[in-house]
Amino acid sequence: MKELMLGNQAVARGLYESGVRVVSSYPGTPSTEITEYISKYPDVYSEWAPNEKVACEVAFGAALGGARSFCGMKHVGLNVAADPVYTASYIGVNAGMVIGVADDPGMHSSQNEQDSRHHAIASKVPMLEPCDSAECKEYAMLAYEISEKYDTPVMLRLSTRISHSRSPVETGERVAAPEKPYVKNVGKNVMMPAMAKARHVFVEQRTAQLREYAETSGINRIIKGGKIGIIAAGTTFNYAYEALGDKASYLKLGMVNPLPVELIKQFAAGVERLIVCEELDDIIETHCLKHGIKCEGKALFSFCGEYSQSIIRKAVLDEENEYRTFPEQFPARPPVLCPGCPHRGLFYALKGLDVYVSGDIGCYTLAAQKPLDSLDSCLCMGGSVSGLHGFNTARGAEQAKRSVAVIGDSTFIHSGITGIIDIAYNKGLSTVIVLDNSITGMTGHQNNPANGFTIHGDPTVAVDLEALARAVGFSSVRVTDPYDVETTRKVIAEELQKEEPSLVIARRPCALLKTAVRKKPLVIKENCVGCRSCLKVGCPAISVENKRAVIDKNQCIGCGICAFACRVGAIGEDE
């Protein structure tokens, strides 16, 4: 049957049809939907793990235990999972293991633009890269064959435009992958120096065999056309094909690690001009140059951002489209915290305290923008907590009374816990605020270990954040409701003054959750003086027109944070 499928959905379909049995992932745009779709297949075990390292280890263990397994993550998640990946490469697999990693060129929803091919090369793991949803399914299935044949985990590299585009996919039936017996094999499965030395030799031999596969298997194929030769993979191949059509010939790469040599030489010999089109880093170009193959690449194209058919047409043919433009400047429309978002209350409370705010990854990173303007730094998952400890250590004990870390519940579970252990163990004084909105928000509402529900929505144990903090040595733990701005501000002010580390939990479910409390929209009363104080909370539902505040009743859920900000008591319930 032919279905219109999101790339991520097609990956999930490919895993399913390959007989995958164990899937463990941490959500991360643009990879999240792979695991969400997999969770709908009842004959596959699936779970959200606390972070990508755990997810990868679960997948490794499942593969060792004889079940085809998968873990999915975004590009920066692969950094977290890198530790198990690099050594899983040595051990190899029993049943097949596939690692899905989705890059985000253009940073639609990411903090950097790193190229995950580097990890494939460095860990010596083969990497496939599909160019549409049909190939997403096909390559997911092929990945298991390669994994089991060559005794290696296999990476499936996606990108935003592949993961989040829909195109037709022919679906098939699920095959029952045989349950492989587990046989104890210390030489292969226990990596300590003596064994690892032998396995490294194996890995190098395997890479040579995989390169042979890249040369001859047909996964990398030549499409004959004009005298311009384009080497490309994935979404960049699509752009090049759209831009140049039959004016060019193509070496369309389906396997981006290891890369072929002879096939590229053969392709290069048949064209007059060889151009490598690759978003992000110059990996294929460097490979060509290393093997003495003359080509153009980053001399024509940027290391930054996404490519497109226009960019390629301009760079290769010097052709541009004509278009109309709007005759005047107009404002940007950046993403914002939603109306009723509990994070808004917390950040508005912090605004009154004039503190350094060590930020983290999640919806609340949006509070860095005006008018909230509430973050001083944001590094990586969990980085707010340990980063604050470093900042305060550098600047002395008084700084700890004027600084906080803010971290969401899911991010805290992901990698904030080790940070609070570091603070307590090393006698730090930092104040850490967990923004507990009972969900993994930014990636589209996934359950997590702190909210008491599994990936399927079934009730399970929830991490007791208060008890956890006490257990690691935080004796001062407070819970506050961020909608109550006044109390929240008071609680944080008190905790900042203490000569010990503090954990404040600002607890209120995400306003988009079905369980969130929605009150009637608030109204502006007669006594509004048009002072614009309410605009400082940065809510999309409130604006000023004709020198009076106006509340959009379609957006307002009555959280009352603007009413707290109002100086004259002009915002309240409709009487």
Partner 1 sequence: MTYNILIAGVGGQGTLLASKLMGVVFMNKGYDLKVSEVHGMSQRGGSVVTYVRFGDKVASTVIEKGEADMVLSFELLESARWLPYLKKDGVLISNTQKINPMPVIAGQAQYPEDIAEKLRATGVRLHTVDALSLAEKAGSAKSVNVVLLGVAAKYLGMEREAWENAIRSTVPPKTVEINLAAFNAGYTL
Sketch the per residue contact string, 333 through 372, with partner 1: x for CB under 8 A, - otherwise.
xxxxxx------------------------x--x--xxx-
Among residues 336 and 421, whose Cβ is nearest to partner 1? Answer: 336
CB of 321 to partner 1, least distance (A): 3
Sketch the per residue contact string, 137 through 166, with partner 1: x for CB under 8 A, - otherwise.
------------------------xx-xxx
User: According to CB under 8 A, which residues from 549 to 568 bind partner 1?
Assistant: 554
Of the ranges 2-10, 87-95, 422-430, 469-477, which one interacts with partner 1 (CB under 8 A)? 2-10
Among residues 18 and 443, whose Cβ is nearest to partner 1? Answer: 443
Q: Does 310 bind partner 1 (CB under 8 A)?
A: yes
Q: Does 331 bind partner 1 (CB under 8 A)?
A: yes
CB of 317 to partner 1, least distance (A): 14
Q: Does 324 bind partner 1 (CB under 8 A)?
A: yes
Per the listing, tokens 């915290």 go with 337
**Phi, psi (rounded to 5 degrees) for 47:** -155, 155
CB of 38 to partner 1, least distance (A): 17
Among residues 366 and 477, whose Cβ is nearest to partner 1? Answer: 366
CB of 547 to partner 1, least distance (A): 12
For residue 104, which of 435, 442, 385 has the smallest C-alpha distance? 442
Q: Does 75 bind partner 1 (CB under 8 A)?
A: no
> What Å distances lie between residue 562 and 22, 134, 308, 497, CA to CA?
47, 49, 43, 28
CB of 329 to partner 1, least distance (A): 8
d(CA 433, CA 355): 13
**What is the residue-wise DSSP string for 213-269?**
HHHHSSSSEEE--SSEEEEEEHHHHHHHHHHHGGGEEEEEESEEESPPSHHHHHHHH
Name the pairing type of β-strands 571-572 and 523-524.
Answer: antiparallel
Of the ranges 215-223, 276-284, 305-313, 522-530, which one interacts with partner 1 (CB under 8 A)? 305-313
**Phi, psi (rounded to 5 degrees) for 64:** -60, -35
User: According to CB under 8 A, which residues from 468 to 507 bind partner 1?
Assistant: none
Please check whether residue 149 is in contact with residue 93, taking contact to mean a CB–CB distance below 8 angstroms.
no
Q: Quick one: which of 325, 457, 459, 467 contacts partner 1 (CB under 8 A)?
A: 325
Please check whether residue 228 is in contact with residue 249, taking contact to mean a CB–CB distance below 8 angstroms.
yes
Please check whether residue 218 is in contact with residue 163, taking contact to mean a CB–CB distance below 8 angstroms.
no
Q: Does 327 bind partner 1 (CB under 8 A)?
A: yes
User: According to CB under 8 A, which residues from 226 to 265 bind partner 1?
Assistant: 235, 238-239, 241-242
Of the ranges 200-208, 290-298, 326-334, 478-486, which one interacts with partner 1 (CB under 8 A)? 326-334
CB of 300 to partner 1, least distance (A): 17
Q: Quick one: which of 318, 328, 458, 526 contacts partner 1 (CB under 8 A)?
A: 328
Please check whether residue 403 is in contact with residue 355, taking contact to mean a CB–CB distance below 8 angstroms.
yes
Q: Does 171 bind partner 1 (CB under 8 A)?
A: no
Burial 256-271 (b: 16+ CB within 10 A, else e): bbbbbbebbeebbeeb
Q: How many CB atoms lie within 10 A of CB 95?
A: 24
> What Å distances lie between residue 56 and 87, 99, 489, CA to CA?
11, 8, 40
Amino acid at 301: F
User: According to CB under 8 A, which residues from 425 to 444 bind partner 1?
Assistant: 442-444
Q: Does 309 bind partner 1 (CB under 8 A)?
A: yes
Q: How open is the CA angle 482-487-492, to the nearest 5 degrees?
A: 80
CB of 353 to partner 1, least distance (A): 21
Q: Quick one: which of 168, 178, 352, 530 contacts partner 1 (CB under 8 A)?
A: 168
Q: Does 530 bind partner 1 (CB under 8 A)?
A: no
Among residues 82 and 550, whose Cβ is nearest to partner 1? Answer: 550
> What Å distances lie between residue 237 and 107, 157, 162, 201, 288, CA to CA?
20, 14, 11, 34, 17
Please check whether residue 102 is in contact with residue 159, taking contact to mean a CB–CB distance below 8 angstroms.
yes
Of the ranges 10-18, 26-34, 119-127, 259-267, which one interacts with partner 1 (CB under 8 A)? 26-34
Q: Quick one: which of 9, 25, 29, 89 contacts partner 1 (CB under 8 A)?
A: 29
Residue 352: strand, helix, or coil: coil
> What Å distances lie between residue 5 and 136, 144, 159, 203, 504, CA to CA?
10, 21, 15, 36, 43
Cβ-based burial of 497 (10 A; exposed 0-12, middle 13-18, buried ≥19)? exposed
Radius of gyration of the chain (CA): 26
Q: Does 219 bind partner 1 (CB under 8 A)?
A: no
Amino acid at 110: S
CB of 528 to partner 1, least distance (A): 16
Please give the size of the binding site for partner 1, defined by CB under 8 A.
60
Among residues 91 and 522, whose Cβ is nearest to partner 1? Answer: 522
Among residues 62 and 367, whose Cβ is nearest to partner 1? Answer: 367
CB of 221 to partner 1, least distance (A): 15
Residue 446: strand, helix, or coil: strand
Residues in touch with partner 1 (CB under 8 A) = 2, 4, 6, 29-30, 32-33, 108-109, 132, 161-162, 164-168, 235, 238-239, 241-242, 306, 308-310, 321-328, 330-338, 363, 366, 369-371, 442-444, 532, 535, 538-540, 542-544, 554
